[in-house]
A and B are shown apart, each in its own frame.
Chain A
Amino acid sequence: EIVLTQSPGTLSLSPGERATLSCRASQSVSSSYLAWYQQKPGQAPRLLIYGASSRATGIPDRFSGSGSGTDFTLTISRLEPEDFAVYYCQQYGSSPVTFGPGTKVDIK
């Protein structure tokens, strides 16, 4: 099973700032089958990024993903008030599908 580690656990930033979230895998993620999700309190997760760097339908271009192998990054170029949430990475290249523990982005 591929174990995903996310850092930092919490990121405290102000609106307008840049957020950089990290996801590290215990072994290489096949064909960059790595996704990022956003979850707000009381809501289901929402797909942001798939294939490590492709934005899902309707996702603003301030969200971008990069990386390959075992190291992946989600960048939010300029934080909007609605971006404060928890972000999870997920690998779906190997069975079982696994999720990281999440990074909470909160308002500084």
Chain B
Amino acid sequence: QVQLVQSGAEVKKPGSSVKVSCKASGGTFSSYAISWVRQAPGQGLEWMGGIIPIFGTANYAQKFQGRVTITADESTSTAYMELSSLRSEDTAVYYCARGSIRLAAAGPRVDAFDIWGQGTMVTVSS
């Protein structure tokens, strides 16, 4: 049974960066896409971006362009999300999620997110 295990909670100062990891265990890693979704306290779900390890390409929501970097290390079956220039509004639970890959005319696309990590709380506070 595939599981995604995320790194622990973080407390950061405004203006700093945070890097959250997501390790896949119990199954293949490269043949799926990993997305990152965040949820501010009491709010809904917000897609930040994702990566397809087998292609090594990441794409990002426009809102986070220039501030987020998503990478993957196939040798350790681990994906990473780094968010920089943190502000208080970035306080949220950050989830990684797995989706199957489908090939579309416009390039590879990700299907629904069938497996989620347990979430990582990131608190930004001075």
Contact = CB atoms under 8 A, between A and B. Distances in A.
A98 B116 CA distance: 16
B59 A99 contact: no
Nearest to A57: B114
Interface in B32-81: 35, 37, 44-47, 50, 59, 61-62
Contact of A47 (B37, B45, B59, B112): B112
Contacts of A46: 116
A29 to B, nearest CB: 12
Interface stretch (A20-28, A70-78, A87-95): A87-95
Given A92-B99, A96-B61, A50 B112 contact: yes
**Contact-residue size bin, chain B (C-beta under 8 Å from the other chain):** 20 to 34
A102 B44 CA distance: 7
Q: Output the residue of B95, B109, B113 with the most chain A CB within 10 A.
A: B113
A92 B45 contact: no
B45 A56 contact: no
A45 B110 contact: no
Contact of B47 (A51, A93, A96, A102): A96
Interface in B95-119: 95, 97, 99, 109-114, 116-119
Nearest to A95: B59
Chain B interface secondary structure, helix, strand, loop or mixed? strand
A50 B47 contact: no
Contact of B44 (A44, A51, A88, A92): A88
Interface string A3-47: 000000000000000000000000000000101010100001111
25 contacts: A33-B111, A35-B112, A35-B113, A37-B45, A39-B45, A44-B95, A45-B37, A46-B116, A47-B113, A50-B112, A51-B112, A90-B45, A92-B99, A92-B109, A92-B110, A93-B109, A95-B109, A96-B62, A97-B47, A97-B50, A98-B47, A99-B37, A99-B45, A101-B44, A102-B45
Interface of A: 33, 35, 37, 39, 44-47, 50-51, 56-57, 88, 90, 92-93, 95-102
